[in-house]
Amino acid sequence: MNTQSKPSSPRRTLLIWGVIALYTLILPSAILVYRRLESAIGQQATGRIPLYSVLILGVAYVSFGYARNKTLLHLLYLIPAGVIAAIIIRAESNPNKHIHIPEYILMAWLLYAALSRGYEGEGLYLLIFVSGSLLGVVDELEQGLHPRRFYGWSDMAVNSASVLIGIATILGLLQRPTSQKRWLPQLKRYRSLLVLIAFGFAGALLTGIRLFDVQALEGFQGVYPSWLLAWNALFVILTPIALYQRKKSRPTPSVPQGQTTARLWVYPILGILLVIHAIVLYAAIAGISFR
């Protein structure tokens, strides 16, 4: 079923991004609910909840897909989704890690809702994966600051893999219109912001690595390099300035074909990178314990 790409509604888009921001913010606190359930029904029963959640989502997926398309072809997409879920469950012996699977399946759907309207051309699902993975990093940084959570690479990998499961379910239920509209040439309009994104990515990668040293001593003082802190601060300062200058100099005539898609590849990623650097900068300056 091919449908025309629907125009983006600024209010609707802002609302969805607000939901995504709130959802990302509260994810680390899910452990509190998990611990409460452990004390109420036991560790073994609580450990099965993520698996049951995935099974319930699978049943809903099968039922909705059949009701929508009157066919079971969408079940084919459960094969890669099931393989990824099985790998996660087998690789992670701690059952409370499995709750990341339904969490980031939902994240993929929220990102689809935010990014799909107005998007024309190829690459939407790659953008969802990149955005979801970066939000998974934000989640981990929040966990490092949470008194009962821990920062770790394995969780980031699980988050990204679970976004892939979410993408598989989207592909099974929703068919995007086959658009050949080219948007890559429009990225040249965002050269300065793309350079800033590259700067932010490099800084975020170095930050992610050095945070393990901070984690070992549960603090930034005397551990986190001053040059990297300056990198974080510079990115946090430059990004709003660059966005303001872009808005100030942007022409108002008709939007060229593909520019909306190019914009979706720039602004969300830049915004998430800004949050990553801002969290680390705040934690380092405030001297907050990091685990």
119 close to 260: Cβ distance less than 8 angstroms? yes
pLDDT > 90 fraction of the chain, expressed in percent and rounded: 45
Looking at 180, 209, 229, which one is the last position of a domain? Answer: 180
At 176, the pLDDT band (50, 70, 90 cuts) reads low
Q: Which of 233, 204, 196 is nearest to 141 (CA)?
A: 204
Give yes or no for residue 221 having a pLDDT over 50: yes
Note the Cα 156 to chain centre separation in Å: 10
161 and 190 in one domain? no
Per-residue model confidence (pLDDT) at position 170: 92
Give yes or no for residue 158 having a pLDDT over 80: yes
Q: Say what the alpha-carbon torsion angle 201, 202, 206, 209 is, to the nearest 10 degrees.
A: 50
211 and 171 in one domain? no
Q: In angstroms, rounded to a whole number, what is the distance separating the alpha carbons of residues 291 and 287?
A: 13
Q: How confident is the model over 52-78, as a mean pLDDT? A: 81
240 and 190 in one domain? yes
At 258, the pLDDT band (50, 70, 90 cuts) reads confident
Question: pLDDT for 90-130, tens place per residue?
Answer: 888 777 778 888 899 999 999 999 999 888 888 999 999 99
Q: DSSP class of residue 250?
A: -
Question: What token pair was written down for 259?
Answer: 């520019």
Looking at 132, 151, 180, which one is the last position of a domain? Answer: 180
226 and 131 in one domain? no
115 and 103 in one domain? yes
Q: In angstroms, rounded to a whole number, what is the distance separating the alpha carbons of residues 269 and 275?
A: 10
Q: For residue 289, how many other CB atoms are within 10 A of its CB?
A: 14
268 and 152 in one domain? no
At 275, the pLDDT band (50, 70, 90 cuts) reads very high
Q: How confident is the model over 219-245, as a mean pLDDT? A: 93
How confident is the prediction for the chain on average, in pLDDT? 86
163 and 28 in one domain? yes
Question: pLDDT for 138-157, tens place per residue?
Answer: 999 998 888 777 888 989 99
Q: In angstroms, rounded to a whole number, what is the distance separating the alpha carbons of residues 284 and 290?
A: 9
145 and 115 in one domain? yes
Using a 10 angstrom Cβ sphere, with 0-12 exposed, 13-18 middle and 19 or more buried, the burial of residue 167 is buried
Range of the domain at 47: 1-180
Distances 173 to 95, 176, 212, 236 between C-alpha atoms, Å: 28, 10, 40, 39
pLDDT > 70 fraction of the chain, expressed in percent and rounded: 92
121 and 215 in one domain? no
Per-residue model confidence (pLDDT) at position 112: 96
48 and 165 in one domain? yes
Q: In angstroms, rounded to a whole number, what is the distance separating the alpha carbons of residues 276 and 207?
A: 9
149 and 95 in one domain? yes
Q: For residue 67, how many other CB atoms are within 10 A of its CB?
A: 8
Give yes or no for residue 186 having a pLDDT over 70: yes
149 and 40 in one domain? yes
Give yes or no for residue 198 having a pLDDT over 80: yes
Per-residue model confidence (pLDDT) at position 3: 37
Within 8 A by CB and 6+ apart from 222, the residues are none
Number of independent structural domains in the chain: 2
